[in-house]
Amino acid sequence: MKDKNKQAAQPTLRRRRLLGMGGALAGAALLPGALPQAAAAAKGAFPKGFLWGAAIAGHQTEGDNVNSDAWLLENIQPTEFKEPSGSAVDHYRLYDQDIGMLAGLGLNTFRFSIEWARVEPVEGMFSVAALEHYRDVLQACRKRGVKAMVSFNHFVTPRWFAGRGGWETEGAPELFARYCDRVARHLGQLMDYATTFNEPNLPRLLFGIPGPLAGMAGNPRMRAMMDKAGQLSGTNKWSSWIFGDFAKIEAGLLRAHELGYAAIKAARPQLPVGLSIAIADDQAVDGGEAMVERKRAIAYAPWFAAIARHGDFLGVQTYTRELIGPEGVRPPPKGALVTSAHMEVYPQALEATLRYTAQNVKLPLYVTENGISTDDDTQRIAYINTAVAGVAKCVKDGIDVRGYIHWSLLDNFEWIFGFGPRFGLIEVDRSTMKRTIKPSARLLGKIAKANGV
């Protein structure tokens, strides 16, 4: 790990976390040879049919998602993005090769998103060509015996949707449900699992209680970026993803999940449909227990209730822990090891969040994201060993965990961080788009083939 990554994250670094994750929070790893004893103790087979896979998101990998809200935000001034996504890692063209590499490793599940901005680039106009492209992706999974877990929305929305006020406006949930209906009727028979949303609780997780990120939400530069996007959209309105009024966005997303779930199930009743949430291992320090409970009530409870009413499973997405004192979230401890995305090294968090979630959600659980940003693949190997060992302990204790899907399959575009952080099991040379399998990918494949650690 580089020297700068050995320093404890300061508030300015925590600010840079925002959107620098494949889903919400960046990963952490143990140093090689420093695995806890639990990793060696938790050996044994996983249940038959356990999912072993890797994940990507459309905007982060496909490239040239020009009709999306994210594309506009990346390419205006001022912008919070380090660089634009551009061609990303060309997955839109190279999907068959990428899925072939995943299957060749021994993994049995591919989690990916369908891009709403491609399917409905103009309000009310659905692209059959885009839908047929995703049919080809699903067929590429099927011909290799790989299960497809499809997210109907992974943060990004069409530009026209954001320009009308995004999730904050009346009618937004119905527009999402219409999209879900169209996609599910066209492609639902080829899906094995579906989620309505990826980490819809992210704003609440990051900003729900006081902490070093508090000043990030609504800062003048972000506000200026949103105002510019509204002007260019011709509406002087703009709300999307994590840029807007969090309370209104949450209300819209909760209703959209309900309607989207119903639309997908109406088209394909037997398809398991859930959602994935970001969840940290919240640890109280120095009397922070009340603040932990406050955070959990804000960031998780609404979505636990939503999935209980409208869902068949819940995806858990965990990367690290949060230390929480009476005043709120604290930076990682002084001297803590941190990743290249400035997050504390703590892969043990996954076991803790699975146990916590199982206490609150009486549905099957899948790990739908878990990983580490690092240029040192030996750290990723250690991270996977420790995280999977924690999952094994949960399964052994009777917790209904049915899959482990690593973030991410490919090195890709990491939102405001650009292409700097590398989460991938597969390296991508963006000058040639050549893929190179990392040793960590082979490790996860070996675990998958053995169905155990």
Q: What is the CATH number of the domain that holds 338?
A: 3.20.20.80
Q: Tell me the DSSP string of 205-219.
A: HHHSS-STTTTTTT-
CA distance 156 to 242: 10
**Mean pLDDT, residues 195-217 taken together:** 88
Residue 131 gets which letter from DSSP?
Answer: H
pLDDT for position 242: 87
Backbone angles phi, psi at 358, to 5 degrees: -65, -25
**Per-residue confidence at 215, pLDDT binned at 50, 70, 90?**
low
CA distance 266 to 389: 38
pLDDT for position 415: 95
Whether 99 shows a pLDDT value over 90: the answer reads yes
**Mean pLDDT, residues 9-22 taken together:** 37
Do 99 and 146 contact (CB within 8 A), yes or no?
yes
Closest CA to 354 of 396, 409, 382, 408: 396
pLDDT for position 5: 40
Backbone angles phi, psi at 173, to 5 degrees: -60, -35
Side-chain half-sphere exposure of 157, counting CA atoms within 13 A: 28
Residue 118 lies inside a defined structural domain of this protein:
yes
Quick one: CA torsion of 245, 169, 173, 114, rounded to 10 degrees? -70
Q: In this structure, which amino acid lies at residue 149?
A: M
Residue 278 gets which letter from DSSP?
Answer: E
Do 315 and 353 contact (CB within 8 A), yes or no?
no
**Mean pLDDT, residues 37-51 taken together:** 65
Cis preceding linkage at 151, omega within 30 = no
Angle between the N-to-C axes of helices 172-187 and 128-143, in degrees from 0 to 180, rounded to the nearest 10 = 50
CA distance 338 to 1: 9
Residue 168 lies inside a defined structural domain of this protein:
no
**Mean pLDDT, residues 111-139 taken together:** 98
For the ranges 14-28, 163-177, 264-278, 334-348, the lowest mean pLDDT is seen at 14-28
CA distance 412 to 55: 11
Coil vs helix vs strand at 88: coil
pTM: 0.91
Model confidence pLDDT, tens digit, residues 389-448: 999 999 999 999 999 999 999 999 999 999 999 999 999 999 999 999 999 999 999 999
The most confident of the ranges 4-8, 214-218, 220-224 is 220-224
Residue 177 lies inside a defined structural domain of this protein:
no
Whether 3 shows a pLDDT value over 60: the answer reads no
Taking residue 328's Cβ as centre, other Cβ atoms within 10 Å add up to 18
For the ranges 161-165, 213-217, 282-286, the lowest mean pLDDT is seen at 213-217
Length reported for the chain: 453
Tokens at 19, concatenated: 């959107």
Whether 8 shows a pLDDT value over 70: the answer reads no
Whether 12 shows a pLDDT value over 60: the answer reads no
For the ranges 10-19, 55-64, 169-178, 235-244, the lowest mean pLDDT is seen at 10-19
Residue 136 lies inside a defined structural domain of this protein:
yes
Do 14 and 342 contact (CB within 8 A), yes or no?
yes
Whether 20 shows a pLDDT value over 50: the answer reads no
Tell me the H-state helices in 312-414. 349-360, 377-396
For the ranges 128-132, 167-171, 222-226, the lowest mean pLDDT is seen at 222-226
Domain range for 141 = 3-66+84-155+195-201+272-450
pLDDT for position 212: 77
**Mean pLDDT, residues 162-190 taken together:** 98
Closest CA to 275 of 248, 291, 256: 256
CA distance 342 to 314: 27
Looking up tokens 């399959």, which residue turns up? 409
Query: Over the chain, what is the mean pLDDT?
Result: 90
The proportion of the chain whose per-residue pLDDT surpasses 90, expressed as a percent, equals 81
Tell me the H-state helices in 6-88. 11-15, 37-41, 58-61, 69-74
Q: Which is higher by pLDDT, 342 or 404?
A: 404
Residue 220 lies inside a defined structural domain of this protein:
no
pLDDT for position 337: 87
CA distance 45 to 125: 48
Residue 215 lies inside a defined structural domain of this protein:
no
Cis preceding linkage at 439, omega within 30 = no
Coil vs helix vs strand at 209: coil
Q: In whole angstroms, what separates CA 199 from the centre of its chain?
A: 6
Whether 31 shows a pLDDT value over 60: the answer reads no
Taking residue 245's Cβ as centre, other Cβ atoms within 10 Å add up to 16
Tokens at 35, concatenated: 């695995």
Residue 43 lies inside a defined structural domain of this protein:
yes
How many structural domains are present in the chain?
A: 1
Residue 423 lies inside a defined structural domain of this protein:
yes
